[in-house]
Structure 1
Amino acid sequence: MNREKISRLAHADHPIASPVADDAVRRLLEVGLPRGDERVLDLGCGGGEWLLRALAANPKVRAEGVDVSEPALTDAHAAAERLGVADRLVLHQQEADGFTSPHSFDLVLSVGAAHAFGGLLPTLEAARRHLAPGGRVLIGDGYWEREPSPEAVEMLGEFDDLATTVDRVVADGWTPVHGHVSTRGELDAYEWAWTGSLVAWALDHPEDPSSAQALETAAEHRTEWLRHYRDSFGFVHLILRRTEA
């Protein structure tokens, strides 16, 4: 089973690929789209859930999404058709870091995709290239709530604590205008949904050659989460504007 299929199955019950509840998603989009007629770009959109919710809630918003996964973009297009918003959504299959556009965007999102750019600040640099004057960026990334174990760092990568993360963003020329720190409940709900969706699919499809691998992947992920990083990893969503010179 390839990584794309694992991700699609694992997010079946939590389509927002981030540890955040629906009410928080709604509030983040409200703050990110104050007028309701903005042009939105998601760098690393996956199945496009952030964009779909923005479009469904704002009939005048137009959106574009960029991702390398053809199956994820196919799912995004099908969902947009079901919601009746496909005429306002453009999808691009390519590396997000190399995306160019003839126009700028009022809101640029990149949630949980910093690895595609080489870290948080390079992600913000990529977002800056697409941002219209006065526009906003919605970024989502991890941080350490407490000193991580070596195993946690090996699994998830290098992060700072929350205060240092925000300090780095501000020093890079950004002003936070809103934020949401994922609660322990949101983090746990996301991880249980991720592992549970894989398990449920495997148990419902025992004849599928991939079912055993799905069960193994879920078990490994659950063990890593519970034993190595549950008590140290946090996640923050920030809405940022460029600091005026």
Structure 2
Amino acid sequence: MDLPRIFTIRESSHRIHNPLTGAKLAALGEALHLAPGTRALDLASGSGELLCTWARDHGITGTGVDISTVFTERARARAAELGVAGRVGFVHGDAAGHVADRPVDLAACVGATWIGGGVAGTTELLGRSLRPGGLMLIGEPYWRRTPPDEETAKGCHVDRIADFLPLPDLIGSFQDLGYDVVEMMLADQDSWDRYAAAQWLNLRRWLDLNPDNELAPAVREELTEEPARYARCTREHLGWGIFALMRR
């Protein structure tokens, strides 16, 4: 049970595995007015930056669950680096279906709603761990500009235009599920650039060190095609944000 190796190669230098910068993640933590001792669960926690930095900056505690062995070890190292290993822990496992042993104050899935089969299923899954009145965080793409055709959507690594919604409709979908949207932090084109372009340098450096690896042809193809595809499709059309929700 693990992520495909190409993913960990692509994002080997990333602390945040989505198009949100560290500054934006910190600003979101400030905006939520997190109280010391807030107990959190982060499903698909990646390299643990949300839990680790918020434990350092706001005194939260909690657990992250992620399917990647590489990222889970990196999260544990980050917790030790920031001096918060006693407050946050990271479990290697499948976040799909994971429920906390007791209700938490903050339940998050930032950029991996496939663990619940989409937004609706993931809110239901997180809701099973969340105490009444607690905060839920969902990270999800949306259409900043709706693609003109399905080919452009595929260039954004999206199967169909219908797979994502424009921002007003995404917010409306949370409301339809019975939640108030109480805060949001959106990526912009610059933060998208920092996320995407860092992947290209990771790919190139890996290629230089591993020219004869069996993955080298696939990595070379991605590095050759991805920058122009990103500039043409994702950068122009796809938005991304973290949305804070409270059940009505």
TM-score (norm 2): 0.87
Structure 1 residue 54 displacement after superposition: 1.4
> Displacement, 1:236?
1.6
Q: 3-state DSSP class of the match of 1:97?
A: coil
Cα offset, 1:139, TM superposition? 1.2
Which one of 173, 197, 200 corresponds to residue 195 of structure 1?
A: 200
Aligned residue among 156, 164, 167 for 2:169: 164
For residues 157-208 of structure 1, the C-alpha deviation after alignment (integer angstroms, 9 at most, x for no partner) is: 4101000000110111111111122111111221111222211332244465
Q: 175-184 or 196-205, which moves further after superposition?
A: 196-205
Q: Is the 8 A contact 2:153 2:233 kept in 1?
A: no
Counterpart AA for 1:12 = S
In structure 2, stretches of 5+ residues that fail to align are: none
The code of the aligned residue for 1:119 comes to G
Aligned CA distance change for structure 1 residues 185 and 85 (closer, same or farther; 3 Å): same
Task: State the shift of 1:121 in Å.
Answer: 1.7
Aligned length: 241
Cα drift, residue 212 of structure 1: 4.4
Q: Evaluate the alpha carbon distance shift between residue 68 and residue 83 of structure 1 in structure 2; reply closer, same or farther with a 3 A threshold.
A: same
- The match for 2:53 is 53
Structure 2: distance between partners of 1:209 and 1:197: 17
2:86: which partner in 1?
87
Where in structure 1 are there 5+ consecutive unaligned residues? none
Counterpart residue number, 1:104 = 103
Residues 151, 228 of structure 1: 8 Å contact kept: no
Equivalent in the alignment of 1:114: 113
Aligned equivalents of 1:56, 1:7: Cα separation in 2? 28
Q: Distance in 2 between matches of 1:31 and 1:128?
A: 22
Match of 2:235 among 216, 219, 230: 230
- Is residue 18 of structure 1 aligned with residue 23 of structure 2? no
Rounded to whole Å, the distance in 2 between the matches of 1:23 and 1:207 is 38
Structure 1 residue 180 corresponds to structure 2 residue 174: no
String of CA shifts for 1:6-46, please: whole Å, max 9, x gaps: 32232234311111122210011223352122011111112
1:42 maps to which residue? 42
105-114 vs 191-200, which moves further: 191-200
Tell me how far 1:231 sits from its aligned partner.
1.4
Call closer, same or farther: CA 1:33–1:6 in 2, change over 3 Å. farther
Secondary structure at 2:128 match in 1:
helix
Q: 1-side partners of 2:234 and 2:83: how far apart?
A: 40
CA RMSD of aligned residues (A): 2.1
> SS in structure 1 opposite 2:182?
strand
Aligned partners of 2:115, 2:224: CA distance in 1, in Å?
26
CA contact (8 A) 2:64 2:90 kept: yes
SS, match of residue 218 in structure 1: helix
Aligned partners of 2:11, 2:39: CA distance in 1, in Å?
26
Task: Point out the more displaced range, 106-115 or 10-19.
Answer: 10-19
| Identity between Structure 1 and Structure 2 (%) | 28
Q: How many Å separate the matches in 2 of 1:43 and 1:106? A: 14
> What is the deviation of 1:233?
0.8
Residue 64 (structure 1) aligns with: 63
Q: Secondary structure at the match of 1:34?
A: coil
- Deviation, 1:210, is 4.0
User: Structure 2 CA distance, aligned partners of 1:44 and 1:11?
Assistant: 15
Contact 2:35–2:60 under 8 Å retained in 1: no
State the alpha-carbon separation in 2 of the partners of residues 97 and 19 from structure 1: 22
The yes-or-no answer on 1:126 pairing with 2:119 is no
Q: Is the 8 A contact 2:79 2:88 kept in 1?
A: yes
- The answer to whether the Cα contact below 8 Å between 2:99 and 2:125 also exists between their aligned partners in 1 is no
- Tell me if structure 1 keeps the 8 A contact 2:37–2:61: yes
